[in-house]
């Protein structure tokens, strides 16, 4: 039996059981996953984990006197008795649930004709690696970090991999699935002593293990980042231009994505609720979604409701062009889904983005520091206070103080505050976005921030 047949059989049984139990519509997801990780410390194996899971989830939609309603049930047992019980329980729960006029599957004519991810190269045929290879990588990470002068300890160096397979079957006729893999290397290093200790990290993940940077490079990077944070000083409080390093710049675009999420718009809880068609970024900058990147971190051929994904602009030339919607939020807003449904096994779909890119500018983070002359370079955020409705923003931060375009000393335990609508209208991007990330955002100059030390 092929992996596809192994997934399809229980999905079909559960779908038929749900319809027989009284569901008007239903969809089923089967998820199979394998994962392993190895951690070392002081050149000794500290932990080794291996996990295998197989789960199934069903969503049913029923018709009642009050209208349509839905419920979801998930289990880790795919036996016939469990499947029968899941179907009966889901239908009973849906009948007792409040009416939801926006729930329901897509019409058959709207479904994706692509049913697998063969063209996206998401599964590494070399997975899983030998456990000894994982341990060797973890040891190489630790050795490289400890070789950096000033590093006194590695809290843990780890290497891991995962592989998952998803199968979606719906009563509207859609069925399809795909597999994807992931490999990772990372560690946290420690430098200094007593109250002057500092820590930083480096972590990399790829769909294919061969695409990872070397363990030596990642370990060295973590060590150098950590040593650079030693002996921080307090910066002057007040207004100043700020550079968000590439490591943290994606968080700013993530706030934009959250604000244009259809669920936030439908609730009226978004600082961009009235901004459709208006300029929210500087001219020339766009935020685009790319769901079909080869080996992409968030690539997928169809969404969790069986709709075809496609490249599109969310913000185009600075102007807000689209919400991020699944079927339910689209119906609530009187619009079509943008094929952005995501779903866990135990809950209904909700909107979410895949691979997202912000338009790149010129130069690197050092060039942005030279451009601002005097100000702050942020490399790490600690905690957050965000008002989703107004866009009021405040975060703890650490990084480096800039004078005459050059780093002069590290800073930590500071607070930055600003307004997201004003912040995103001022950004100036570099050209150093990481193409391996799902959120590909370069380092950014951000104006309008107040620094509290």
Mind listing the pLDDT tens digit for each residue in 237-294?
999 999 999 999 999 999 999 999 999 999 999 999 999 999 999 999 999 999 999 9
State the pTM of this model.
0.95
Looking at the chain, the whole-number percentage of residues with pLDDT higher than 70 is 100
Dihedral (CA of 301, 307, 310, 316) sign: negative
Q: What is the mean pLDDT of residues 394-409?
A: 97
- The answer to whether the CB of 176 falls within 8 A of the CB of 303 is no
Spatial separation of the C-alpha atoms in residues 57 and 347, rounded to whole Å: 9
Residues 62-100 as b/e (b if ≥16 CB within 10 A, e otherwise) read beeeeebbbbbbbbeebeeeebeebbbbbbbbbbebeeb
- As given in the structure block, the two tokens for residue 329 are 């939020």
**SS3 (DSSP) at 267:** helix
Q: How far is CA 362 from CA 111, 247, 373, 429, in A?
A: 40, 17, 17, 7
- Residue 371 makes CB contacts below 8 A (sequence gap 6+) with 405, 428, 445
104 Cβ neighbours under 8 A, 6+ residues apart: 25, 61, 68, 327, 328
* The predicted structure's pLDDT at residue 5: 75
Q: Is the pLDDT of residue 4 over 90?
A: no
The answer to whether the beta carbons of residues 49 and 36 sit under 8 Å apart is yes
Query: How much is the average pLDDT of 171-183?
Result: 97
Q: What is the mean pLDDT of residues 102-113?
A: 97
> Burial level of 440, CB count in 10 A (0-12/13-18/19+)?
buried
Average pLDDT (186-210) is: 96
How many secondary structure helices (H) and strands (E) does the chain include? 9, 21
Residue 1 clears pLDDT 70, i.e. is over it: no
Backbone φ and ψ of 244, nearest 5°:
-90, 115
Specify whether the CB–CB gap between 353 and 368 falls below 8 A: no
The mean per-residue pLDDT over the stretch 182-207 comes to 96
Mean pLDDT of the chain: 96
Average pLDDT over residues 224-249: 96
Interatomic CA distance for residues 362 and 358, integer angstroms:
13
For the CA atoms of 42, 44, 47, 49, the dihedral, rounded to the nearest 10 degrees, stands at 130
- Alpha-carbon distances, residue 252 vs 242, 249, 358, 416, 426 (angstroms): 13, 6, 11, 13, 12
Q: How far is CA 76 from CA 30, 72, 81, 210, 230, in A?
A: 10, 14, 13, 32, 48
Q: Is the pLDDT of residue 453 over 80?
A: no
Rounded CA-CA distance 434/246 in Å is 8
Output the furthest CA–CA distance in the chain (Å, rounded): 73
Over residues 138-153, mean pLDDT: 97
Q: Are 8 and 78 in contact (CB under 8 A)?
A: no
26-35, 204-213, 234-243, 361-370: segment of lowest average pLDDT: 234-243
Rounded (10°) angle between helices 3-20 and 80-96: 50
pLDDT at 183: 98
């Amino acid at each position: 039996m092929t992996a596809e047949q192994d997934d399809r059989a229980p999905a079909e049984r559960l779908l038929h059981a749900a319809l027989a139990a009284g569901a008007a519509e239903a969809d089923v997801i089967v998820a199979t996953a394998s994962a392993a990780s190895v951690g070392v410390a002081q050149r000794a194996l500290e932990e080794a984990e291996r996990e295998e899971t197989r789960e199934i989830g069903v969503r049913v939609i029923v018709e009642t006197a009050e209208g349509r309603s839905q419920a979801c049930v998930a289990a880790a047992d795919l036996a016939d008795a469990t499947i029968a019980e899941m179907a009966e329980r889901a239908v009973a729960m849906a009948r007792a649930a409040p009416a939801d006029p926006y729930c329901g599957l897509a019409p058959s004519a709207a479904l994706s004709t692509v049913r697998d991810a063969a063209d996206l190269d998401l599964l590494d045929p070399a997975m899983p690696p030998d456990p000894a290879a994982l341990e060797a990588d973890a040891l190489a990470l630790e050795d490289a970090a400890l070789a950096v002068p000033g590093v006194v300890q590695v809290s843990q160096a780890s290497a891991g991999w995962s592989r998952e397979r998803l199968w979606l079957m719906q009563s509207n006729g859609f069925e399809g699935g795909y597999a994807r893999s992931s490999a990772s290397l990372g560690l946290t290093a420690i430098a200094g002593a007593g109250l002057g200790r500092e820590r930083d990290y480096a972590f990399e993940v790829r769909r294919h293990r061969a695409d990872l940077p070397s363990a030596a490079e990642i370990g060295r990077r973590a060590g150098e980042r950590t040593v650079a944070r030693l002996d921080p000083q307090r910066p002057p409080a007040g207004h100043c231009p700020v550079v968000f390093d590439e490591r943290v710049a994606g968080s700013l675009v993530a706030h934009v994505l959250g604000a244009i999420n259809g669920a936030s718009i439908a609730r009226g809880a978004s600082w961009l609720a009235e901004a459709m068609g208006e300029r929210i970024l500087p001219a020339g900058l766009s935020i685009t979604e790319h769901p079909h990147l080869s080996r992409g971190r968030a690539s997928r051929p169809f969404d969790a409701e069986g709709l075809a994904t496609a490249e599109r602009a969310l913000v185009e030339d600075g102007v807000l062009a689209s919400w991020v919607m699944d079927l339910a939020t689209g119906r609530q807003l009187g619009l079509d889904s943008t094929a952005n449904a995501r779903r866990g096994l135990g809950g209904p779909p909700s909107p979410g983005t895949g691979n997202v890119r912000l338009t790149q500018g010129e130069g690197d983070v050092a060039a942005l520091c030279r451009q601002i002359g005097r100000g702050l370079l942020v490399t790490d955020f600690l905690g957050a206070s965000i008002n989703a409705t107004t866009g009021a923003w405040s975060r703890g931060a650490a990084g480096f103080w800039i004078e005459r375009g050059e780093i002069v000393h590290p800073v930590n335990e500071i607070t930055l505050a600003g307004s997201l609508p004003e912040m995103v209208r001022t950004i100036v991007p570099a050209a150093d976005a990481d193409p391996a990330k799902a959120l590909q955002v370069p380092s950014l100059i951000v104006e309008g921030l107040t620094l509290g030390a």
